[in-house]
């Protein structure tokens, strides 16, 4: 939602494009070599699409192993992202010089349960947009105790909020709507996104984005994003925010046509629900890290596929996602006035419980299932406080074969369609 943020801030740039009826597209791009990272940002800026920039960090930086980063750089070993802590601030400033600015903000994406060092590094070079969260960057990616991740993220958020100036508005995106990437029923993704957003606001931040990852059924996804918008308006009235949709994060189609169809579906999801931003994937995702050229092609394809976004979504069914998500958010916030403490207590009691997540602080009692149409349903809600909002059949353990089948559903569906077209 548009707000009174500095015109060059990340959120304000997205809001300007939204006001024109356009969804911003963004790559996941990150390269260790500064020259290549600069070339990637420049190509993104020059793409025939409405874009913002991305610097995705490497996995060593994500877990705080800066010694391994230093050794890799010294030996010339390849890293799977940009080591913003390993490179000097002057190096990163040269990467950004003449590219990042009021019309082209750059977001740093990392994946760390302890983002404090990363935050200091990005603020030092003049960047103020990043993403993550105490739950979404802890449970899927680390064994860090949730209580410690909450403390780390509280400090990081306060650090980011302290960087606010009249000309600089920090921006933080919750990754809560992307938990595990797939097979997590939409209501829980929506609730986690809203809860991390309330945590950010309590820590002093006011310019946010709330994420949702495309899943296995287009109609269900549209309903979920509309529910996320409604709950953000209800629970984040003092914040400026927009919705960011992620292209499917699970097993990607192997065929180029299947991958393009899936990306186009993500673009249609974003524009049909009035999302401000779409994080894209490329046709190369099934097998390797995409090139700069492949990223640009995906950005331009997504921009063309999307068209004008709707200010107010229409014709969206209501199968109970909003009611379930609202019940989860309300139950968690009633646990404590301190949102971080409420999140810890909620996981300890099983009020929040992510299917297929093996983190020690996740109860692991919930289960999901995929029906023939690709809709995600609860098969066991454990202690989730949503019994009045959902009908759950008797719990039945998912076999390993069923799990593998569910994980490959999107790949099989989109590749099969591409094969049928080629043979017809």
Structural domain includes residue 3: no
Q: What is the extent of the structural domain holding 282?
A: 10-306
Closest CA to 173 of 202, 140, 207, 204: 207
Is position 334 within any domain? no
Q: Read off φ and ψ for residue 298, nearest 5 degrees.
A: -65, -40
d(CA 61, CA 117): 9
Structure tokens at 107: 């977001």
Count how many domains the chain has: 1
Between CA 176 and CA 26 the distance in angstroms is: 18
In a domain, 382, yes or no: no
Q: Is residue 404 part of a domain?
A: no
Q: Can you spell out the DSSP letters for 330-364?
A: HHHHTT-SSHHHHHHHHHHHTSS--TT---TTS--
N- to C-terminal Cα separation, the chain: 45
What pLDDT sits at residue 4? 47
pLDDT tens digits in sequence order for the chain, 424 residues long: 434 445 568 999 999 999 998 999 999 999 999 999 999 999 999 999 999 999 999 999 999 999 999 999 999 999 999 999 999 999 999 999 999 999 999 999 999 999 999 999 999 999 999 999 999 999 998 999 999 999 999 999 999 999 999 888 999 999 999 987 678 999 999 999 999 999 999 999 999 999 999 999 999 999 999 999 999 999 999 999 999 999 998 888 999 899 999 999 999 999 999 999 999 988 787 677 889 999 999 999 999 987 666 666 767 888 999 999 999 999 999 999 999 999 999 999 999 999 999 999 999 999 998 999 999 999 999 999 999 888 777 666 678 888 888 888 889 999 987 665 555 5
Whether 345 maps to a domain, the answer reads no
Any residues with CB less than 8 A from the CB of 248 and at least 6 apart, and which?
Answer: 182, 213, 214, 215, 262, 266, 281, 410
Q: What's residue 294's pLDDT?
A: 94
150 in any annotated domain: yes
Q: How far apart are CA 352 and CA 365, in angstroms?
A: 10
H-helix or E-strand spanning residue 420: helix 409-423
Nearest C-alpha neighbor of 169 from the set 387, 12, 374 = 12
Asked, for residue 54, whether it belongs to a domain, the answer is: yes
Q: How many CB atoms lie within 10 A of CB 245?
A: 26
At 123 the pLDDT is 96
Cα–Cα distance measured from residue 179 to residue 192, given in angstroms and rounded to the nearest whole number: 8
Q: Which two tokens stand for residue 179?
A: 């938990």
Is 57 part of any domain? yes
Give the DSSP letter of residue 338. S
CA–CA distance, 215 with 217 (Å, rounded to integer)? 6
Indicate the pTM of the whole model.
0.94
Question: CA 284, CA 28: separation in Å to the nearest integer?
Answer: 13
Q: What is the CATH number of the domain that holds 43?
A: 3.20.20.240
For the beta carbon of residue 15, count every other beta carbon within 10 angstroms.
22
Number of Cα atoms under 13 Å in the Cβ half of residue 296: 13
């Amino acid at each position: 939602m548009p707000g009174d943020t500095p015109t060059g801030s990340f959120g304000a740039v997205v809001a300007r494009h939204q006001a024109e009826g356009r969804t911003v597209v963004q790559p996941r791009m990150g390269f260790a070599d500064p020259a290549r990272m600069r070339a990637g940002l420049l190509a993104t800026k020059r793409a025939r699409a409405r874009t913002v920039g991305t610097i995705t960090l490497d996995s060593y930086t994500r877990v705080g192993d800066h010694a391994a980063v230093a050794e890799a750089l010294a030996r010339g070993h390849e890293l799977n992202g940009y080591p913003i802590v390993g490179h000097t601030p002057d190096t990163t400033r040269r990467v950004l010089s003449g590219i990042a600015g009021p019309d082209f903000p750059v977001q740093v994406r990392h994946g760390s349960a302890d983002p404090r060092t990363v935050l200091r590094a990005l603020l030092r070079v003049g960047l103020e947009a990043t993403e993550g969260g105490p739950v979404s960057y802890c449970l899927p990616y680390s064994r860090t105790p949730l209580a410690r991740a909450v403390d780390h993220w509280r400090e990081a958020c306060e650090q980011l909020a302290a960087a606010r100036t009249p000309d600089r508005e920090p921006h933080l995106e919750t990754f809560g709507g992307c938990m595990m990437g797939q097979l997590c029923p939409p209501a829980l993704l929506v609730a986690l996104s809203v809860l991390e957003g309330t945590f950010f606001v309590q820590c002093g931040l006011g310019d946010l984005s709330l994420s949702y990852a495309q899943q296995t059924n287009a109609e269900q996804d549209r309903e979920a994003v509309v529910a996320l918008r409604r709950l953000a308006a209800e629970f984040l009235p003092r914040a400026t925010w927009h919705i960011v949709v992620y292209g499917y994060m699970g097993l990607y189609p192997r065929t180029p046509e299947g991958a393009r169809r899936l990306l186009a579906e993500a673009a249609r999801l974003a524009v049909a629900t009035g999302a401000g931003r779409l994080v894209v994937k490329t046709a190369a995702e099934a097998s390797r890290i995409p090139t700069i050229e492949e990223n640009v092609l995906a950005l331009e394809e997504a921009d063309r596929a999307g068209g004008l976004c709707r200010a107010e979504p229409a014709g969206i069914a209501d199968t109970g996602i909003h009611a379930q998500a609202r019940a989860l958010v309300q139950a968690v916030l009633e646990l404590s006035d301190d949102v971080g403490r409420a999140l810890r207590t909620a996981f300890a009691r099983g009020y929040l419980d992510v299917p297929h997540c093996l983190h020690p602080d996740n109860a692991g009692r919930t289960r999901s299932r995929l029906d023939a149409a690709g809709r995600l349903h609860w098969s066991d809600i454990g202690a989730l406080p949503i019994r009045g909002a959902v009908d759950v059949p008797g719990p039945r353990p998912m076999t390993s074969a069923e799990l593998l089948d569910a994980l490959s559903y999107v790949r099989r569906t989109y590749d099969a369609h591409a094969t049928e077209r080629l043979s017809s």
